[in-house]
Chain A
Amino acid sequence: MAENNCMCQEAGVLIFPCSGGSDVGDLSDRVARKMAKCGQAKMFCLAGIGAHIPGMIESAKAANKIIAIDGCQVLCSKKILEHAGFTPISFNLKDLGFVKGKTQVNEENIDVASSKISGGKIEKTTIRNSGGCCGS
């Protein structure tokens, strides 16, 4: 039983979307969830980092890499992580062609953004429980 619930696997790549209130904030969240579902990274709680929850901070320190996905140039995720002492690999959806207020949050854009991010600065990983759904 304990083995099944074990949380001691390698932390691997942790991903922190800004998950903001705008369309691009929403897209950042969907992209991160897709990448997590595909086993490319593990979704983590930006709010917990912002709140300086010691367990969250210490857990994030165990990561091999930390990725911030921001919807716009305010870069909240990147700045929250930096404020907590991390140096994330930062992606701004604006730089990937998604304009705040003019972006549809649909499967096509989720696929385009996630493939641009995973095809850029991060390598594929074999993180636990990957469904291997990406096929790319």
Chain B
Amino acid sequence: MKIEVLGTGCPKCKQLAANVEEAVKESNIQAEIGKVTDIDKITEYGVMMTPALAVDGTVVSAGKVLSKDEIKKFILK
């Protein structure tokens, strides 16, 4: 599984990235966590509001700092 945090690096993006790492750790799954900070690449995903989260290339959330538990719902589907 590939999980990407989309955001230019503001505190909200960093918080989402931290929540993702925790969620992955607690879920005991193998996942590659990446950060997309380039604004052109972010908009290529169609994302207009950050931070955003993409799982296996599909954006599942934008404009929100998802909690650890909310992230788990996406990665344990």
User: Is residue A59 within 8 Å, beta carbon to beta carbon, of the partner chain?
Assistant: yes
Whether B10 contacts A59 by the Cβ 8 Å rule is no
User: Is residue A85 within 8 Å, beta carbon to beta carbon, of the partner chain?
Assistant: no
Distance to closest chain B CB from A115 (angstroms)? 26
In the assembly, what is the distance between CA of A11 and CA of B49, in Å? 7
In the assembly, what is the distance between CA of A62 and CA of B46, in Å? 14
Q: Which of A1-9, A23-31, A72-80 contacts B (4 or more CB under 8 A)?
A: A1-9
Q: Which residues from 7 to 27 on chain B have a C-beta closer than 8 Å to any C-beta of chain A?
A: 7-10, 12-13
* Category for how many chain B residues contact A: 20 to 34
Q: Which residues from 30 to 89 on chain A have a C-beta closer than 8 Å to any C-beta of chain B?
A: 44, 48, 53-56, 58-59, 61-62
Whether A7 contacts B50 by the Cβ 8 Å rule is yes
Distance to closest chain B CB from A41 (angstroms)? 13
Distance to closest chain B CB from A101 (angstroms)? 34
In the assembly, what is the distance between CA of A5 and CA of B13, in Å? 13
A3: which B residues are within 8 A, CB to CB? Answer: 8, 10
Whether A55 contacts B62 by the Cβ 8 Å rule is yes
Closest to B61 in A: A58
- Known pairs A7-B39, A7-B50, A53-B46 / 12 extra A-B pairs, C-beta < 8 Å: A2-B10, A3-B8, A6-B8, A7-B7, A7-B42, A8-B7, A8-B13, A8-B49, A56-B47, A58-B47, A59-B63, A62-B64
* B interface residues (Cβ-Cβ under 8 A, vs A): 7-10, 12-13, 37, 39, 42, 45-52, 54, 58-64
